[in-house]
A and B are shown apart, each in its own frame.
Chain A
Amino acid sequence: MAAALFDRAAVLDNLDGDRELLREIASIYVNSYIEDLNRIAAAIAAGDAAKVFALTHTIKGSIGNFGAGEAVEVARTIERHAREGQLGDIEASFQRLQALLDQLAAELRPELG
């Protein structure tokens, strides 16, 4: 098992202990991240580097709220490749991002209950 991405104690502290708010943002993430990944995959397939950058930037901004240190780093790598127009180098990073976002979703699901 990889190191935890969701830093529950720190996140909850940042939300002033507001479990309802945590549930709300976790739910937004769990319900939308696959769609977000699909849109990035489509942009990569279409060779649209600007779109890859914008979509990755947005998802990076979202997951940063949960800690998600390694996932944020991988997203940053994708952003950098996209900004330099190097979509060919992205595939490995993108697969890694998918795995990490799945893991983050798995860690967040108990919060929805």
Chain B
Amino acid sequence: MKICIVDDTPINLTLMQALVAKIDGCQPVCFAESPAGLQYCIDEEVDLIIVDYMMPAPDGLEFIAQLRSKDSRTEVPVLMVTADHEKDVRYRALEVGATDFLTKPVDRIEFMSRVRNMLAIRRSHVLLSDRAETLAAEVRKATAEIVAREKEVIYRLSRAAEYRDPETGAHILRMTHYSALIARHLGWSDEALDLILQAAPMHDIGKLGTPDHILLKPAHLTDAEFVIMKRHTVIGAAILKDSTSPMLQLAAQIALGHHEKFDGSGYPQGLAGEAIPQAARIAAVADVFDALTSSRPYKKAWELDRALALLKTGRGSHFDPECVDAFLARLDEALVIRERFLDEEE
């Protein structure tokens, strides 16, 4: 263990150095000049500091005070060397953070046992903080693994849905980023935005349960077929519901509610206004805007102006006005998103 000794009196420094060297496994590092000793103790991790009280500045009290002002040096044991009768000095030393004292002139028996005691304390402390650090690192690692695994499972689930969905992966990405864009404008926190970025890709996951002849039909659906098509909202919610994960709870809200309309004319529940979860109201704007501005097997992509006009027309009937306004306010950013995630075929 490394023991730093700071004393401007050569005989005392020599004496303490020799005594410390007699303790197994101890390596003394000596300084006759207090400022150099202090710098060393701040720069290097030592196991024990022995510092004389009366020295040219900084004296022992100032030395300890400056050392303890460093966050990383609040625990290292410090023995201050004083004469027995200097009670006031000892009280002040305790106040500034001395651990214990050594009496001058140095008494070998007392010196050795106090140094050994301090080193025993030091060893326990290092052991404890190593253990705490190891545990904390393991918890961080385990937590990160769980979070990563959760994200991976969700990603794979979304991928599975994509294989069933005639809409492209690029649509899912655009719709997701439009949703986050609107949410940010409405004041969502960074954590909440992180959740919606993960949750929105699953808005159509219920299409896993939609029969091929309806899902892939390259023409308008009959009324009977549309009834079945609408069920993808309920199926999606059934897949995602009742999770303890806040992200999956949000995903379930979006899957169930993204075809609801603000005036209550949507599906599957016909909810109106704020009875529709805000995430679903946001997703409705994002999803419709992207559907309009993308091409489909049965239709061409709409011009931007026409799509925006539809959003404005639907403001307050189909869509939550706040969400439309938020989207329009951030239209520049929305267009950047559209350029960033282009459909591969185009």
Which residues on A are within 8 Å of B, measured CB to CB?
Answer: 14-16, 18, 21, 24-25, 28-29, 32, 54, 57-58, 61-62, 64-65
Contacts and interface: CB of A to CB of B under 8 A. Distances in A.
A99 to B, nearest CB: 20
A62 B15 CA distance: 10
B107 interface: yes
Contacts of A29: 11
Contact of B105 (A32, A54, A58, A64): A64
Contacts, number: 46
Nearest to A13: B108
Contact of B108 (A16, A28, A54): A16
B22 A25 contact: no
A15 B12 CA distance: 12
B25 interface: no
B9, B11, B12, B107 — most chain A CB neighbours (10 Å): B11
Contacts of A28: 10-11, 14
A111 to B, nearest CB: 13
A32 B9 contact: no
Contact of A21 (B9, B10, B15): B15
B104 interface: yes
22 contacts: A15-B18, A16-B22, A18-B18, A21-B14, A24-B18, A25-B14, A28-B10, A28-B11, A29-B11, A32-B10, A54-B56, A57-B54, A58-B9, A61-B9, A61-B11, A61-B83, A61-B104, A62-B11, A64-B105, A65-B11, A65-B15, A65-B105
Contact of B54 (A16, A25, A54, A64): A54
B106 interface: yes
Given A21-B15, A65-B15, 6 more contacts: A14-B106, A16-B22, A16-B108, A32-B10, A54-B54, A61-B104
A104 B83 CA distance: 21
B33 interface: no
B8 interface: yes
Main SS of chain A's interface residues?
helix
Interface residues of B, number: 17
Contacts of B8: 58
Top 5 A-B pairs, shortest CB-CB distance: A64-B105, A62-B11, A21-B18, A65-B105, A25-B11
B15 A61 contact: no
Contacts of B105: 61, 64-65
Nearest to A24: B14
Nearest to A25: B11
Contact of A58 (B14, B54, B106, B108): B54
Contacts of A58: 8-9, 54
Interface in B1-59: 8-12, 14-15, 18, 22, 54, 56
Interface string B101-127: 000111110000000000000000000
Contacts of B15: 15, 21, 25, 65
A104 to B, nearest CB: 12
A57 B8 CA distance: 11
B14 A15 contact: no
A62 B54 contact: no
Contacts of A21: 14-15, 18
B81 to A, nearest CB: 9
B14 A14 contact: no
Nearest to B56: A54
A64 B14 CA distance: 14
A61 B15 CA distance: 12
Contacts of A57: 54
Contacts of A16: 22, 108
Nearest to A67: B105
Contact of A14 (B83, B104, B108): B108
A62 B107 CA distance: 13
Interface in B166-221: none
Contacts of B107: 14
Interface string B292-313: 0000000000000000000000
A16 B108 CA distance: 8
